[in-house]
Amino acid sequence: MITATEAIKRLKEGNQRFVSGVRSIDTIVKQLNRADFVGGQAPFAIILGCSDSRVPAEIVFDQGLGDLFVIRVAGNIVAPSQVGSVEFAAELFGTPLVVVLGHSMCGAVMATIDELERPSNEKSLNVLSIVNRIRPTVEPLFATDLRNDPEMLLASSIRANILASTNQLRHGSQMLEQLIQKGDLVIVGAEYSLETGEVTFFD
């Protein structure tokens, strides 16, 4: 298995190919040889990303079958099932890197801001369960000058939500904490730009 540093480099190179409109031959070959992966997998990175249809991790990072262990949920929030999925891959496959991948114009964060500005009794309880996980991160920003700048408020809220999810993974699981302490796992945040296609890594 490659190191976390090598895994980040591989993701960055794949994203640059995506931005340039180029696909790796290796990615295409893996899709053609899908039978090779029937017996098992060895993903080099775990991606906890948003469910947004415009941000498919395998395509954004130009990776093939068996390369990424992807967990997708609206708002890239961290709930017990997501933590368990990360633990599963980190322990079973020895995957050295976790990336929490948020993106610009995130609908879940926008819904949270909307709920804070205009509370509603009409939202689904299931949708509110997502909003309420994002709320503690976004709410403090309303006490700053950002409340007067909707565009900056959204951008800052998205970044804060990614960092909060990253922090929750780092400190919300004894197993993951131990892997981090041993140097076997690195957890970082990143943001995908819908406008440019580029992924910016925070750490």
Q: Which amino acid, 127?
A: V
Please give the pLDDT value at position 29.
81
How many angstroms separate the CA atoms of 121 and 96, rounded? Answer: 43
200 contact partners, CB below 8 Å, separation of at least 6: 190, 191, 193
Sheet holding 45-49, edge to edge: 68-72, 45-49, 97-103, 186-192, 199-201
User: What is the fold, at CATH topology level, of the domain defined by 4-201?
Assistant: Beta-carbonic Anhydrase; Chain A (3.40.1050)
Question: Cα–Cα–Cα angle for 35, 49, 13, nearest 5°?
Answer: 70
The domains of the chain are located at 4-201
Token pair, residue 9, equals 């480099």
Amino acid identity, position 83: V
Residue 1, pLDDT score: 79
Nearest to 68 by CA among 165, 162, 2, 167: 2
C-alpha–C-alpha distance, residues 198 and 191, integer Å: 8
pLDDT at 28: 81
Predicted confidence at residue 27, as pLDDT, reads 84
Tens-place pLDDT, residues 124-178: 888 889 999 999 999 999 889 998 999 999 999 999 999 999 999 999 999 999 9
**The pLDDT of residue 4:** 96
Quote the pLDDT of residue 3: 96
pLDDT of residue 35: 82
**pLDDT of 56:** 97
Q: What is the pLDDT of residue 203?
A: 72
**pLDDT value, residue 15:** 98
Q: Split the chain (203 residues) into runs of 10 and give each run's mean pLDDT.
A: 95 97 86 82 96 97 96 96 96 96 97 90 85 95 92 97 97 96 97 98 88
